[in-house]
Structure 1
Amino acid sequence: MTTGAPPPLAPKRSRARTFLPLALAAWLVLETWLLTVVAGAAGGLTVLGLLVGGAVLGAVVIKRAGRRAFKNLTETFERAQAAARTGETPTAADRVGAEDRNGFLMLGGLLLMLPGLVSDVAGLLLLAPPVRSLLGRYAEKAVERRMSVAPTGSLQDAFQQARIHRPDGKVVQGEVIREGAPGSDARRADGPRPPLTP
């Protein structure tokens, strides 16, 4: 009987995948407990009013943030087109509404729409501009930290490397010869190239 190599170890589970279900279960239990406490103290109609009011306010916030995001996107495209016509390159300062933090505003609206008091408080906090700007700066720093750890190169290089290293992907090396380009006649003097076969 021969012994082979030891079996490969299973990949370690990340902390987020371990603790996220527990945090979600604890949040649901806390929300249910708070709703029952408020219903016992103020009555069931008060709790129903709070839930309906939160859902309506959240829908209004999401609708308004979506309109602002679409308006900012349209204005950014218009500025980019104007810069392309004049031959200028758009800069980061040309981004319209970059400091609006519409993503956090939409998240606040979504939290308001979820039934529960803790989510309503978190959603109301995200409606405050100082909280949104603080979270936005933190998110930008976190993304910059992650990007600085990543290897240098363009996004196209990353996609090319991912395509090359796929186990089932095939890479065909070649060159593009354009009709009428300088030097294309000299290349064609060798004769026609054989077709590529798989």
Structure 2
Amino acid sequence: MTTGTRPPTARGRSRVRTYLPLAVAAWAVLEIWLLTVVADAAGGFTVLLLLAAGIVFGAAVIKRAGRRAFRNLTETLQRMPGQPGAAPEQAETPADSRGNGFLMLGGLLLMIPGIVSDVAGLALLVPAVRTRLGRYAERSLERRMRAASPGSFSDAFQQARIHRPDGKVVQGEVIRPDGGQQAPRPDEGPRPPLTP
């Protein structure tokens, strides 16, 4: 006889996975309805021009943001210690180099056919909106990393970032709690240091 209760090990579906398909369907219906309203008011050719302009403008925004992100990555790699021409002190990233992800998302939303997605994409082109969304996303990520259980990937990353910010390798040997040592492999000799 089954009782209808879940076993304690089974996890239920999250709310996002439950309601996301319904939200996507409602968004698609709203976009189609708005396009038909605009087509009745301004004509079908106007809607076609709006959709084509959104695709072209969105592609230009994505291309510009991608170039900017690649330029910032190249500059960051050139400023790394040990690179030819590297500056002795690290400079802060300029304010215009932040927000490339939201800029690309805005371009993608402009490329998606529809009025609501175009309005959201145009809103993401405003620097103040991108800054606020970036701060919100950063706070949310920090909150989730703090709430992560000990021993998780984020905890290991945090420990590595705190204790070894320069990334240097410290040579040593492993001492096991039971007193036994790991036997060296016969094909290995002493290793040279990785950094000069």
TM value normalised by structure 2: 0.71
For the 8 Å contact 2:79–2:87, the answer to whether it is kept is no
- Unaligned regions of 5+ residues in structure 2, if any? 161-180, 192-196
Q: How does 1:15-34 map to 2 (within 5 A)?
A: 15-34=15-34
Which of the pair is proportionally richer in helix?
1
Give, in angstroms, the shift of residue 20 of structure 1: 0.4
Deviation sequence 1:73-117 (CA, Å, 0-9, x none) = 000001114579889685xx5445675200000000000000000
Q: Report matched runs for 1:131-150 at 5 Å.
A: 131-150=129-148
Structure 1 residue aligned with 2:108, among 101, 107, 110? 110
Which of 125, 128, 134 is equivalent to 1:127?
125
Structure 1 range deviating more: 76-85 or 52-61:
76-85
Is the CA contact 2:78–2:84 (under 8 Å) kept in the aligned structure 1?
Answer: no
Taking the aligned partners of 2:56 and 2:49, their CA distance within structure 1 comes to 10
Aligned residues: 160
Give me the whole-angstrom Cα distance separating, in 2, the residues matched to 1:80 and 1:31. 47
- Kept in 2: contact 1:83–1:89 (CA 8 A): no
The aligned residue for residue 80 of structure 1 is 80
Query: What are the within-5 Å matches in structure 2 for residues 175-194 of structure 1?
Result: 179-180=189-190
More divergent stretch after superposition (17-26 vs 93-102): 93-102
Q: Is the 8 A contact 2:62 2:104 kept in 1?
A: yes
8 Å Cα contact 2:81/2:88 also seen in 1: no
The Cα RMSD (Å) is 3.1
Counterparts of 2:112 and 2:46, CA distance in 1: 17
SS of residue matched to 1:154: helix
Contact 1:73/1:96 (CA < 8 Å) preserved in 2?
no
Distance in 2 between the 1:175 and 1:135 partners?
Answer: 53
Deviations 1:41-76 (A, max 9, x none): 100000000000000000000000000000000000
Shift of 1:179: 2.3
Percent of matched pairs sharing the same residue:
59
DSSP 3-state at the match of 2:46: helix
* Structure exhibiting the larger radius of gyration computed from Cα positions: 1
Change (3 A) 1:130 1:157: closer
Distance 1:112 1:84 in 2: 41
